[in-house]
Amino acid sequence: MLNTIVGSLSTPGNVFSLEYLVVAGGGAGGGNSSGNTAVGGGGGAGGLLTASGFSINASTSYTVTVGAGGAGAAGVGSSGSNSIFSSITSTGGGVAGGFDAPNGTSGGSGGGGGGRNATESPTGGSGTSGQGQSGGTGLSSTTTNRTGGGGGGANAGGGGGSSTAAGNGGNGVASSISGSSVTYSGGGGGGAAENGAGGTPSSPTAGSGGTGGGGAGFKATSGARGNGSNGSANLGGGGGGSASGSALGGPTTGGSGGSGVVILKYPDTRTITLSGGLTGSTPAPAGGFKVTTITAGTGTVSWS
């Protein structure tokens, strides 16, 4: 279960409390550096942590880092980067498996397993407790279609690949901290490839991205290949898996993970200052609170 702490937002003297949402960068989908038939799993979503009642001292500066999404590659991509607010660290999403490294890796949510022309059972990576879920298993085979497992999401694990369909990315978690409901940290969908002309059975379905910014996997017919879709920026979604339907042509690239975000909600009697390399915005107050959304960079925040 997601770690959600409920508390009051108060303003006694120089100390007050706030609500935060910290989402890490999503992991990359699986790629293929060769021309062989293979599919990538979906990248794991960035870890998600949210709570209210976090104590702030207005005379103190607090570190903030917004994690980047993992870069997709023709081969093994990258895990997402951590996002940080003060003592709170959300873990970057795991990278998915593919031709070069079939197993997904662990992270905030785990990357899905890939699939290739081999007799093996590629595993998904595990998620981090309280932040995200595990990736699904991929399907490797010498006789049937190959399908990637979906990347884990903050709210649900990635689906496993089968002979008829790649795994969908796990769904993320909805938050209304910004004033409207937005879903974050969805896993990427696995790629799918037919086994030769027509496949056994034909036309497996590629995995869809999980709600919360997960990228879709690519579906390859026997003579086609393609890259996975990218996860959505500032939602922490995992990248989609690529797919190669034959030994013809070049490599394929897994989708890149989406970047994370840090959102802070605090009493409207306070004024925030962003320092260093942080990029963010603070709309007009509503309901007695201000909400600052930090979308990139590393630096510090303080209040007066």
Per-domain residue ranges of the chain: 1-304
Two structure tokens written together for 48: 């998600």
Nearest to 246 by CA among 85, 16, 36, 9: 36
Residues 256-280 have pLDDT tens digits of: 999 999 999 999 999 999 999 999 9
Residues 202-241 have pLDDT tens digits of: 789 999 999 999 999 999 887 788 999 999 999 999 999 9
Positive or negative torsion for Cα 176, 78, 250, 144: negative
Two structure tokens written together for 93: 């999403």
Q: What is the mean pLDDT of residues 287-301?
A: 98
Q: What proportion of the chain, given as a percentage, has pLDDT over 90?
A: 82
Residues 177-195 have pLDDT tens digits of: 999 999 999 999 999 998 7
Residues 50-84 have pLDDT tens digits of: 999 999 999 899 999 999 999 999 989 999 999 99
- Amino acid identity of residue 288, one-letter, is G
Of 36 and 280, the one with more pLDDT: 280
Nearest to 188 by CA among 207, 172, 169, 167: 169
**H/E element, 15:** strand 15-23
Rounded Cα gap, residues 144 and 164, in angstroms: 9
How many CA atoms are closer than 13 Å to the CA of 31, on its beta-carbon side?
A: 26
- Amino acid identity of residue 294, one-letter, is I
Two structure tokens written together for 49: 């942590």
What SS3 state is found at 193? strand
